[in-house]
Amino acid sequence: MDLMGAFFLFAAIVNIILTIEHAYTASRRRLSFLILLNLLQNLLNTTACFAVFFTIRAKTQQPSEWECYLIASFAIFWFVFSLRAWTNVFVCTSHYLRILRPRSSGNLKRLFTYGVLILTASMSSLASALIHVFMYEFEEEYGVCSAVFLYEDELAHRRFMRVRVSFVASVALNYLLPIIVVSFIYSELLTTLKSVNAPKKVIRDIEELLLLDKHLYLWLVGPIHSLMALQFIFLMKEFPNYWLCVKVLTAIAACYCIVNPLLRLLFRNIDYFKEIFQRILS
């Protein structure tokens, strides 16, 4: 187990502690849909960190066929991570319906909205997992994944098209679409709240959610998708250390699952930390 694997094992343990802390705090409050969503996010953060840990561990051993296609391909991580990304959409949609559409959105409309989101999240997460399974399968078959797209004549037409369609769907559904939806909804919420002179704390909470669910996700997850897009578009025959780059950039993307909850904890207790800091200075 290398240093990266140890880091994500530590991150998973930290997420377990944060999940327990959040569950304890939630038990003292009235149960709501947002609280359940936050608990789900913590559980997905923990699962994603464990998935990266076992993937790195499998890469250092001789994996079985099952491990090759489900663990070593990062497929399990991307499936869980995509679900985690879509929980951000659930959270911002819940805030939107609660603040801007409290009366016009009845129970039936809410169920329909969340049903569509659940279906979209499931399909997009499956597409994300499939593309990594396919690419790892090609790596095993041809030795270097960086050359797979140059073997179009040697691949079955349906199989090659399946890779291309899955890749485009994965990036569009799991990276671009969540960012666009989160950005649009939170921007509209901020505009409305500022126009009616809402309390500063409410506006600050929405700004923090926009920072965590859009900007943090954008910058941490963007590099791995950019690398895969370059590989896909330009068909580089000899990309230097391609799979090492994939491993490192995937680890950077996975850091979202530990940085996000830690920043959320910091923002939630920032007034408390400010008070302690002022006492130390005085």
Q: pLDDT per position in the chain (282 positions), as tens?
A: 577 888 888 889 998 998 888 888 777 777 677 888 888 999 999 999 998 888 877 655 555 566 666 776 788 888 999 999 999 999 998 888 888 776 655 667 778 888 888 898 888 888 888 777 777 766 555 443 344 344 445 545 566 666 667 777 778 888 888 999 999 999 999 998 888 888 888 888 888 889 999 999 999 999 988 877 776 666 554 566 777 787 888 889 999 999 999 988 888 877 665 566 556 655
pLDDT of residue 100: 79
Could you tell me if residue 240 is left (phi over 0), alpha (psi between -120 and 50 degrees) or otherwise beta? beta
pLDDT of residue 221: 92
What is this structure's pTM? 0.83
Map 16-61 to HEC letters: HHHHHHHHHHHHCCCCCHHHHHHHHHHHHHHHHHHHHHHHHHHHCC
pLDDT of residue 157: 57
pLDDT of residue 105: 56
Diameter over CA atoms, the chain:
73
